Structure 1
Amino acid sequence: MTTYISIGNLSGERQYEQRIGLQIHKMRTIGDLRVALVGPLGLPRDRFDVIKMSEALLYNDTELLTHNDWSSKMVLVIHPPSRPIFDHLKTTETDMVNGAYEDEQRTIMSCGHGIVPATLYEYCWNSLQQGDLEFKCPAIDEFSVRGAQTTCGATWTLYELTIKAQLSQDERILFEMKLSKNSLAKMNEVQECPFCRSLAVRDNIKNDRVVCINCSKTNPDNSEFCWQCLHPWTTPNAIYCGNLSCSTSKGQTATQEILRTCSSKVMGDFNRASPTVRACPSCSALVEHTSGCKQMTCKCKHIFCFICLKPWKKKGVSGGCDYGNNCDPAQCQSV
């Protein structure tokens, strides 16, 4: 069965804005998709990459394709066919990153060191992926006054990189996007969502509960996290996340307070009331009972009885609780 998807590149060139049909049931990874796009694009596989727009990063060939990938537009970064050097920028200086490239032409950087343009592109892109905000020359300064080997450390501008690495329009836009994202990520007002890696802000600086806008649309059941510890928010209708590893000074105290002061209710046909909030016996995440039976499955996949806290009975295994067990409510837990 053929499925039609929309593709286009970052700079919006008309020749790459297409709607093409693919046999998506035969594709599992980004690598499979790139192979399928070679024909429609008329480009070899190494001339383009697929970009994660929310992260300003390139997909790895081994990453699995999801339903969300197919339902949204595929955005591509088109690389240049080559990275030629202007005659006045050519140098005989050794490549500062890999001195073995003596048979390839090198360009001279503003600090006086030489580098192969393709190496320059890879080095600067790797710096951005590590969260850097500037491009620093990595050349070893062997003529330090004190005799110690230190790096040059000179700063290169994006304009210099554009000229000397011969960035394509798409690459230039990608670098600008990643620089902006890195800059925002270093601000105190922004956090990176632990689920989708997009940037998120909180509505109130006094509220550590954050709802990722991107995840709320694609995965609403797993879209809330704690601003402080970046773990999933585990305590419904509470002001603390419930994660015992949270760095906030009141985190563990608040978790214990929630367990101690939560309301109680009678569940199903049982006569005795049980607390409405429990700490998972496996991972200690707080779990609230809102409706249904006493069988509870935590996000960590541990299944237990919400009343007595015993593991849920497995077929052929002795011990544990089940629907037929008129169990006694466990006391308030201590964390």
Structure 2
Amino acid sequence: MDMIISALIDGFEDVFPLSDDTYAEELQFQEALEASLNLSTTPDQSSSSRHDLTSTPVCRICTEEKQKSDMVQLEGCPHSFCSICMAKHVEYKLQQNIAVVSCPAEDCNNVIQPTGSLRRMMPTDVIARWEEAITASMILDSQKIHCPYEDCSEMLVNDGEEGVVVKESECPSCRRLFCAQCRVRWHQGFDCEEFGKLNRKRKDKEKLRLLARKNKWKECPNCKVFVDKTEGCIHITCRCKFEFCYKCGSRWNERHWKTCQE
């Protein structure tokens, strides 16, 4: 701009050389010309400023233009996103069992909390699950107890004194009894040690049953012992002296030679 004014003044001096008598008049003309050129640039600058103030915000996740009222300004960092995308971002993290949620902007490690504009603009059920996940993440695994009933599974916290063993407990949600020590339904009539032995026997028996099914072993109808036939005929005499057919499992008689013969 200064170069343009200087060139114009130089041009005028070539045509009309300045004298002492006309110096004041020409100086006023120079100042008026400079002011006029400066004013001509003002509207463009003002228009640019007004455009920046009225521009429509764009969500950095869905890349769609949004109303300012739909945007959430995160606390702790300069990033903002639309409330719909932020709700989906938090839900995705909760599905992955992640309670500590960071800003979704790339290379931003700001940890966000369900407070402020996030709390006001996001769905209440998402906020509730988020707060519950944050609370659960602050509890030690050793203190967490889940109700053993499948239709409940409420998470409880064992906040008893150290060294105190809590056994018979009532779930505050379904109001049913369970053993907090064994973490199973209440074993009425058995203490924890007796139930542990009984439970191990049941597990061992189930493992044996699965192994017998896999190897196609037959169970003696009399003493319930599994028998494995490696060779010979289908007529089996168990160690309890009971005779049965290995093919159909019934008591042995002569007609098995015809009906069940291999």
Normalised by the size of structure 1, how large is the TM-score?
A: 0.34
| Greater fraction of residues in strand | 1
Greater Rg, structure 1 or structure 2?
A: 2
| Greater fraction of residues in helix | 2
- Which fold has the larger relative contact order, with Cα–Cα distance below 8 Å and residues 6 or more apart in sequence? 1
Normalised by the size of structure 2, how large is the TM-score?
A: 0.41
